[in-house]
Amino acid sequence: MLATVQHKNQVLKVDLSKPIDISIPLTNTDKNPIAWYIDKPVIEPVVFDEWVGSVQKGASTNFNTIEFNPHGHGTHTECLGHITREFYSINQCLKQFFFTAKLISIEPELKDGDYIITLNQIKNELNGDVPEAIVIRTLPNNITKLSKKYSNTNPSYLNDDAARFICESGIQHLLIDLPSVDKEKDEGKLLAHKAFWNVRDVNNLNKDARLNCTITEMIFVADQFEDGNYFLNLQIASFENDASPSKPILYKIID
């Protein structure tokens, strides 16, 4: 279904019948990706004495409790409350849900034993464009990302200069297929997070920090979808928390 969308000062043509879901489903199996040294999610029926919340076990309904961590168990969107002393909620910071987006593919560069996404790579791929959101697909793009166990693997990450460039360019939303924009073990510096949100002091937030900007981590963009311009629907659950599991959907913009 072709639709003409009035988005701010732009008129966009998108095919709403072909959504591209770049989220990773959350499961209670070993197929679930995991980061940050935790176990897999738990999804199990509630038990009251001899009553079990499962139709298979005789109940009238399925009645599951889910235990998970948004940062470690799959696709999630976070606000600057992830790194600040003062509480900020993703549900309060993210109030718009449709954005222009550019999908780029980057092979991180090896430097001092780490694989890093650099400032020059980001600049070259954006090529002067300033979308509202940037979607970064790292190469090689293996489907093992859907179930990878990231803990103690030192995954690729975003150089803080690159994050600062994204910030200063005016890009509001950063989506990436890694468990973090920062190095796994960085002594708590979180340089890329701070640079993207323009946070200079996590204990006393500066007035020009970017409250309405978000980082979405652990996405997956299949190889069949080409780099280029898209229309993004960034969906979250209504958690009053620094982060929420999320379901970013891309729609190809038709020229």
Q: Which residues contact 236 (CB under 8 A, 6 or more apart)?
A: 77, 90, 91, 94, 244, 245, 246, 247
For 2-33+70-252, the fitting CATH number among 3.20.190.10, 3.40.50.300, 1.10.287.3510, 3.50.30.50 is 3.50.30.50
CA distances (Å), 233 to each of 80, 184, 252, in order?
A: 20, 28, 11
pLDDT along the chain (255 residues), means of 10: 87 94 97 98 97 97 98 98 98 98 98 97 97 98 97 98 98 98 98 98 97 98 97 98 98 91
| Residue 195: Cβ-neighbour burial (10 angstroms; 0-12, 13-18, 19+) | buried
Res 28: pLDDT: 97
Res 33: pLDDT: 98
Please give the single-letter amino acid code of residue 71: H
Q: Which of 175, 177, 35, 184 is nearest to 114 (CA)?
A: 184
Res 93: pLDDT: 98
pTM of the model: 0.97
Domain ranges of the chain: 2-33+70-252
Res 5: pLDDT: 87
Res 1: pLDDT: 77
